[in-house]
Structure 1
Amino acid sequence: MNTKWIKWIWVFISVLELYGVILEGFRFVYGDKMPLTFLWIAVSVFMYWLIYKGLYQFKLSNDQYEIRNLLKNAKRGTVIDNSNDSSQYIRQFINLIEQEQIHHNPDLSRDIVAKRLGISSGYLSQQLNAVHGVNFSEFVNKYRVADVKKMILDPDFDKYSLLAIGMEAGFNSKTTFYNTFKKETGCSPNEFKMQHKMSS
């Protein structure tokens, strides 16, 4: 879950409180009341921003919930051709991805997967590098991007935002999602969607 905006709320409230204390201190020392115009403007802006952010987060969470249900009901599995995998552990890892969709967990780590496979995280990295020439994140993100592409091309997902689709595929932030998608496909999710809408 992205908590950066909660930290900004805390900072903003702290600044407002400090400003209020300074105003009261000025009144106490000099006996003059300073105008509260700036304070009320700041409070109003903050409240509007908070409402917008709350609605935005609610919409995003609601979209993710609906996408999750669509994926469960349709049992859409992620399939990437890895039939020539020589490592039994990589095959087991791929099976976890295709059957249990573990890559949709944004907190998925090398340690979690290694524990499921009964091997060390270092050995898992070694196997991924030897067989596929990639690290853990690159391997998992390849499947996440494949899922995103599939959802973008599926009319059932047209009403959902690209960010909600990316987050439900397992990315933990907008930046990571957009950067990884562009690295894998050579275009942004928006460009990918537009290209395929024009060609269909």
Structure 2
Amino acid sequence: MSKYRTIYLENYAKADRSAYKWLFQITLYFCFAHLFVLLKTGALMSGIGESYLKLLYLFISSSALIIICWFVLKALYNPHLFTGIKSELEPLKAKLDNKELVAERDMDTLSAIESLAYFMERKKPYLDYELTLEKLANQLKMEEKDLSILINHHLGKHFFDFINEYRIEEAKKILRNPENKKLTILEVLYQVGFNSKSSFYTAFKKITDQTPTAYRKSALAE
């Protein structure tokens, strides 16, 4: 799971058709399951012999066990169906090590970092709570791989940590502004691009060592 967590933080995986295939397979199996129930009901109503009923029950129970085992194994061997991460992906660090990429920041890298910072400050793409690496790369007209290397390797941050830093800075500006005293913490977190209270509090505490409420009190008291 640590591998998938690393990849998820580094890169928002593209959706593929496997999720739709998974749903289609689930639908088919549920149809078969209901068909078995109808067969059992029909057998009871037709007064079929007890020996045949026992065989039918055994068949239904065996089929149910096989289906349950199939679902569990499918989930274990295909975690990307639930996480959106393809199992064949490797964390960025492994890719960089394999390709023996140099970590030094040359002039092109420094220029790219400055352009990224300028874009983040002027356009504020982080206010979009659905922002992904793919979306940001498209806005910057960059390859996803290049942007991923720039953020994860040269800046030394995971993508969502990088985005959350901007979101928290935006939240701090709002919280220390006396004109925004009537805004609730929930309103603030939605304004800056978060979509859950728990993730906002976790990121805020990680960056400031304070809760949003405590930060607001101390900032307005100065």
TM bracket (short chain): 0.5 to 0.7
2:151 maps to 128
Asked if 1:138 corresponds to 2:175, the answer is no
Unaligned stretches of 5+ in structure 1?
Answer: 1-83
| CA distance, structure 2, for counterparts of residue 116 and residue 106 of structure 1 | 15
Alpha-carbon displacement from aligned partner over 1:149-168 (angstroms, at most 9, x marks no partner): 11111112111101211110
- 132, 139, 160: which is aligned to 1:109? 132
State the alpha-carbon separation in 2 of the partners of residues 152 and 164 from structure 1.
11
Change in 2 beyond 3 A, CA 1:169/1:149 = same
Alignment match of 1:178 (pick from 196, 201, 219): 201
Partner of residue 89 from structure 1, selected from 105, 112, 129:
112
The residue type paired with residue 153 of structure 1 is R
C-alpha RMSD of the superposition: 2.0
Q: Which amino acid aligns with 2:168?
A: V
Mapped to 2, the partners of 1:144 and 1:156 lie a distance apart of 19
1:27-46 superposed Cα distances (whole Å, 9 cap, x missing partner): xxxxxxxxxxxxxxxxxxxx
Name the larger-Rg structure: 2
Amino acid in the other structure paired with 1:167: Y
Judge which range, 105-114 or 85-94, deviates more. Answer: 85-94
Off by >4 Å, runs of 4+ in structure 1 = none
Report how far residue 178 of structure 1 moved.
Answer: 0.8
CA distance in 2, matches of 1:144, 1:98: 11
Partner residue of 2:14? none
Q: Percent identity?
A: 28
**In structure 1, distance between residues paired with 2:108 and 2:218:** 32
1:94 is paired with a residue whose SS is: helix
Q: Does 1:159 pair with 2:200?
A: no
What is the CA-CA distance between 1:129 and the residue it aligns to? 2.3
TM-score normalized by structure 2?
0.48
Cα distance in 1 for partners of 2:111, 2:193 equals: 24
Aligned length: 116
Task: State the Cα distance separating 1:86 from its structure 2 match.
Answer: 4.4
Contact 1:102 1:108 in 2 (8 A): yes
